[in-house]
Structure formats: C-alpha cells, structure tokens
C-alpha cells in the first residue's frame, strides 16, 4: 500500500547573521492513511519547520515530500493546518469563521455548506454558540472553532502545531479526548507537534523523536495502547513504560 505521506531526506537551514543555522538534517519517515503520529523533541529541534515544509508553507533545501504519491510543492486543499494561535476574525461570528474557507473557495456559501458547518460545530461541542463572537469564548472553545474551520475543508491529512500548548492542563486533557473522538469518527490522518511526552503517548499510534538542532529522526516508537483511550489509561503500567521508552530518546 502506498503511504499517504512520505518524507525523504529533508534538510533545511536558515541564514542568520554570518553563519547558517541548520534546522533539519536528512529527516525521512512515512505516515499511513488513518494514522495518528506525534512529533516530539526539544525546543529548537525543527519540528515546526518540518511541519511547515510538509504543509507546503516552506521549501526544503534538500529532499522531497510526497502526498498521495505526488510531489508536494505548495499548500493542498486536502491538507489542513491547526496552529497554536487561533487567528479567528473577531468581527465574524463562530459560524462565519468556520464558513470562511468555503466562502473564499466558492464566493457564495449555500445552505448545504451551512448545514455542514452547523454539524461540525456540534461535532466539536459548540452547538448553541454559532452566533457568538470569538472574544466571548474561552481559549479551549476558540481552538474548537479552529478545528471545525479546518474540518470544513474535509482534509485527508491534519497537521497540528502545538494546538493546545497555551491551554491549562484540564482543558488540554478534554481537547485531547475530543481530538481522539473526532479523528476516529472522521478517519483522518493526523501529524501533530507537541512538547509533551504524555500527550504524545496518549494520542499517537507512533511517536517520532527529533534530536536537538540540527533536527534528525532518532526514534520511531510504536504506541501499543488499545483504543479507545480513556484518561484513566495514563495511570497504567503500560502507559508509564511507554513514556519512559520515549523519554530515554529525548534525553539521550
């Protein structure tokens, strides 16, 4: 079976002052359709840079990205991106923010598209907040709006860059559960950057560990926890052992 996503020998450097800074070096891996993969590594290891290259937002110096078997050089409608910053338009309602990508694509939003938006807001737990404005919502609720806005594009691959990093621990746990539920229901492939070992182990089918700069892939750890995953699984011996397995690669 052809992988949905293939990363081959990706390298990237940035020119800052006199000397170049090498962010990534010869990174290669594959992601199968329906997988949930987390990218984990220390700050400055090039994880976000790699995600932007995969999303077509940034060009690599060397190597290639293939999506659905085709070389990727620019953003694709089938690839959705969720950043830590919500970037919602404050003058638009929740519903209108979710509809924005379709409005840009189609010019006019029809009744069917609006029904899809209502359904997605219900899916992310925001039924009844369609006419609210972003400034009246909590941080967790705003991230739910962003997720619904991304899902309305029906992405086959969802790239997430520390989407819950700015939220408190309890809200982050709730959104992790929601993300697992939505991913299972929608059948999406997810590639997510995180700094949290526990979050990565809880969410992922595999955890890819990136070394300190220049970022290189040093480990591909399979997460053998059963699904669905309740929060209680984080107290299990198996979960604890897997977090230790991942941590040893971070600190090595």
Condensed to tens digits (0 to 9), the pLDDT of residues 171-199 reads 889 889 989 999 998 889 999 999 999 99
Q: Is residue 83 part of a domain?
A: no
- In this structure, are 147 and 60 located in the same domain? no
- In this structure, are 51 and 165 located in the same domain? yes
Q: 93 is in which domain, residue-wise?
A: 88-154
Record the pTM: 0.92
- In this structure, are 149 and 166 located in the same domain? no
Predicted local confidence at residue 204, as pLDDT = 97
214 and 24 Cβ atoms separated by less than 8 Å = yes
Pairwise CA distance, residues 130 & 113, whole Å: 14
Q: What is the pLDDT of residues 73-123, one digit of tens each?
A: 899 989 999 987 778 999 999 999 999 998 888 777 888 999 999 999 999
Using pLDDT thresholds of 50, 70 and 90, give the confidence band for residue 1: low
Predicted local confidence at residue 252, as pLDDT = 54
- In this structure, are 62 and 181 located in the same domain? yes
The total number of structural domains that make up the chain: 2
Residues 202-208 have a mean pLDDT of 97
- In this structure, are 101 and 173 located in the same domain? no
Q: What is the pLDDT of residues 6-59, one digit of tens each?
A: 999 999 998 877 788 889 999 999 999 999 999 999 888 889 999 999 999 999
């Amino acid at each position: 079976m052809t992988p949905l996503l293939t990363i081959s020998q990706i390298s990237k450097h940035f020119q800052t002052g006199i000397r170049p800074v090498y962010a990534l070096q010869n990174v290669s891996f594959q992601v199968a359709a329906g997988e949930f993969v987390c990218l984990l590594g220390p700050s400055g290891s090039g994880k976000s840079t790699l995600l932007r290259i995969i999303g077509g937002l940034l060009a690599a110096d060397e190597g290639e990205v293939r999506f659905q078997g085709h070389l990727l050089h620019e953003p694709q409608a089938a690839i959705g991106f969720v950043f830590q910053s919500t970037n919602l338009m404050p003058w638009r309602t929740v519903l209108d923010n979710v509809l924005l990508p379709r409005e840009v694509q189609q010019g006019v939003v029809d009744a069917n598209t609006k029904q899809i938006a209502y359904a997605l807001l219900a899916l992310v737990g925001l039924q009844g907040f369609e006419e609210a404005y972003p400034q009246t919502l909590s941080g967790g609720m705003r991230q739910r709006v962003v997720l619904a806005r991304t899902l309305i594009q029906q992405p086959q691959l969802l790239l997430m860059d520390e989407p819950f990093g700015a939220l408190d621990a309890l809200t982050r746990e709730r959104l992790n559960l929601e993300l697992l539920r939505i991913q299972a229901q929608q059948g999406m492939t997810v590639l997510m950057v995180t700094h949290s070992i526990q979050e990565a182990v809880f969410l992922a089918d595999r955890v890819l560990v990136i070394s300190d700069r220049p970022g290189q892939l040093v480990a591909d750890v399979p997460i053998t926890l059963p699904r669905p995953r309740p929060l209680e699984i984080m107290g299990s011996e198996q979960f604890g052992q897997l977090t230790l397995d991942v941590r040893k690669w971070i600190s090595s």
